[in-house]
C-alpha cells in the first residue's frame, strides 16, 4: 500500500465534525456548499464564509443498498441518505436505526464513523 495524503479541505471538514465543529460554506447570496469550494456554482460568488452546520437536518431521500461496491462489502446492507440541513445537504450512511424504519423527514445529526469493510472514515447520519 502506498501512503495516502489527506484530501485537503475534505479531511479537514471531517476533522471539524469529529471536534463538534461541523461547518459549511455560504456565499453572500445564502447558497450553501460543503468544502472544498472556492466559488459558488449557483451565483459565481467567490465570497464564501464558514458557517456552523445546523445541529440537525431532515432526511430528503434514502436507500438501502444490498449490492455494494467492494469498499462496502461488509457494510451491506446499509442505508445511504441525503439529509437537508437548511442551506446545505449532506449525504451519509444512516446508522442507529433499523433500515426499515428510516423515512423521509426523519431528523438526523451528522457525525463521523467508520466503514466496516475498510475502516476508512465515513459521514454518518444518526437520528436525533
Partner 1 sequence: MSDPRVAGAGVTSFGKHPERTGRDLFAEAGLEALDASGVDPDDVDALYYGNFMGELAEHQGHQGPLMAEAIGLDVPATRLEAACASAGAAIREAVKNLRNGEQDVAVVGGAERMTNIGTAAATDALAIAADDLYEIRAGMTFPGAYALMARSYFEQYGGEHEDLAHIAVKNHEHALVNEHAQIRKEITVEEAVDAPTIASPLGLYDSCPITDGAAAAVLTTAEYAEEHGLDAPVAVTGTGQGGDNLALQDRPHLAQTPAADKAADEAYADAGVGPDDVDFAEVHDCFTIAEVLAIESLGLYDRGEGIHAATNGETDRHGELPVNLSGGLKAKGHPVGATGVAQLATIAWVLDGSHPRADAVPDGTVGVAHNAGGTVASTTVHVLEVRE
Q: Which of Zn ion, partner 1, none interacts with 92 (beta carbon under 5 to 8 A by kind)? A: partner 1
Cis link prior to 77 (omega < 30° from 0)?
A: yes
User: Of 19-27, 48-56, 71-79, which part binds partner 1 (CB under 8 A)?
Assistant: 71-79
Residue 42 or residue 107: which is nearer to Zn ion going by CB? Answer: 42
**Of 17, 75, 106, 108, the one binding partner 1 by CB under 8 A:** 75
Q: CA 53, 59, 63, 65: dihedral to nearest 10 degrees?
A: 40
**Of 92, 106, 108, 109, the one binding partner 1 by CB under 8 A:** 92
Q: Minimum distance between the CB of residue 105 and partner 1, rounded to whole angstroms? A: 9
The sign of the dihedral angle between the CA atoms of 34, 38, 43, 48 is positive
Is 97 a binding residue for partner 1 by CB under 8 A? The answer is no
Is 49 a binding residue for Zn ion by CB under 5 A? The answer is no
**Of 16, 17, 25, 27, the one binding Zn ion by CB under 5 A:** 27
The three grid cell numbers given for residue 11, joined into one nine-digit string = 479531511
Pattern 20-59, partner 1, x by CB under 8 A:
-------------xx------x------------------
**Of 28, 30, 50, 73, the one binding partner 1 by CB under 8 A:** 73
Kindly give, in sequence order, each residue whose CB lies less than 8 Å from that of residue 8, ignoring residues fewer than 6 positions away: 36
User: What distances in angstroms separate CA 13 from CA 3, 106, 110, 111, 112, one per listed residue?
Assistant: 21, 24, 12, 11, 10
What span, in angstroms and rounded, lies between the C-alpha atoms of 68 and 31? 32
Amino acid at each position: 500500500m502506498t501512503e495516502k495524503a489527506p484530501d485537503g479541505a475534505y479531511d479537514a471538514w471531517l476533522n471539524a465534525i469529529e471536534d463538534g465543529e461541523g461547518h459549511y460554506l455560504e456565499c453572500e447570496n445564502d447558497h450553501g456548499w460543503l468544502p472544498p469550494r472556492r466559488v459558488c456554482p449557483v451565483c459565481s460568488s467567490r465570497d464564501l464564509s464558514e458557517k456552523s452546520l445546523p445541529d440537525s437536518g431532515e432526511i430528503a431521500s434514502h436507500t438501502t443498498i444490498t449490492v455494494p461496491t467492494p469498499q462496502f462489502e461488509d457494510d451491506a446492507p446499509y442505508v445511504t441518505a441525503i439529509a437537508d440541513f437548511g442551506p446545505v445537504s449532506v449525504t451519509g450512511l444512516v446508522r442507529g436505526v433499523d433500515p426499515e424504519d428510516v423515512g423521509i423527514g426523519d431528523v438526523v445529526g451528522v457525525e463521523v464513523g467508520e466503514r466496516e469493510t475498510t475502516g476508512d472514515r465515513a459521514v454518518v447520519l444518526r437520528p436525533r
